[in-house]
Structure 1
Amino acid sequence: MMKMGGLYGHRNINDEHLKKWIIDWNPKEYVDSCLNYFKIQETEEINSFLTKQVETVKEIASNISVSDESYLFDELMKFMTEAMFYCYFRFDSSTAYCGNFYEVLIGFADESTKKKILKGYDYIEAGGISLEKDGERIGHIGMMSDLFWHTFYDQYIVENNGAIEHIRNNEKDITLQIWGENLFEGKDQFNELIERILFECNVTLELNFKRTRFESDSRLEGEAKRGILSLTDIKLEDTPLRYFNFANYTKIPRHKYLAYYQVLEFFFPRIVKEARFSRPSELLIVEYIINNTFTELDIIGWLQDKADKGNHFIEPVQNYPTLTPITNTDILNLISKRIYIVRCSLVHAKEAPKDVNFIPNLNDDVIEKELALIKFVAEKVLYKWSKVNEM
Structure 2
Amino acid sequence: RSFAFDACRIIVQGGQLPCPVDDNGVMTAEVGPELSNLYIKEADKVVKKLLKAADRLVVNADCVHAYPHCWRSDTPLIYRAVPSWFVRVEHMRERLVEANEQTYWVPSFVKEKRFKNWLAEARDWCVSRNRFWGTPIPLWTSEDFSQIVCIGSLEELHKYTDKRLTDIHRHFIDDITIPDPRGPSFPPLRRVPEVFDCWFESGSMPYGQIHYPFENAETFEKGFPADFIAEGLDQTRGWFYTLMVISTALFDRPPFQNLIVNGLVLAADGRKMSKRLKNYPDPTEVVHAHGADALRVYLVNSPVVKAEALRFRIEGVKDVVKDVFLPWFHACRFLIQEVIRYESAGDRKFEPCKASALISKGNSMDRWIISSTQSLVKVRHTRLSSSLYSKL
Larger radius of gyration: 2
Whose RCO is larger (CA < 8 A, sep 6+)? 1
Same fold? TM cut 0.5? no
Q: TM-score band, normalised by the shorter chain?
A: under 0.3
- TM-score, L = length of structure 2: 0.25
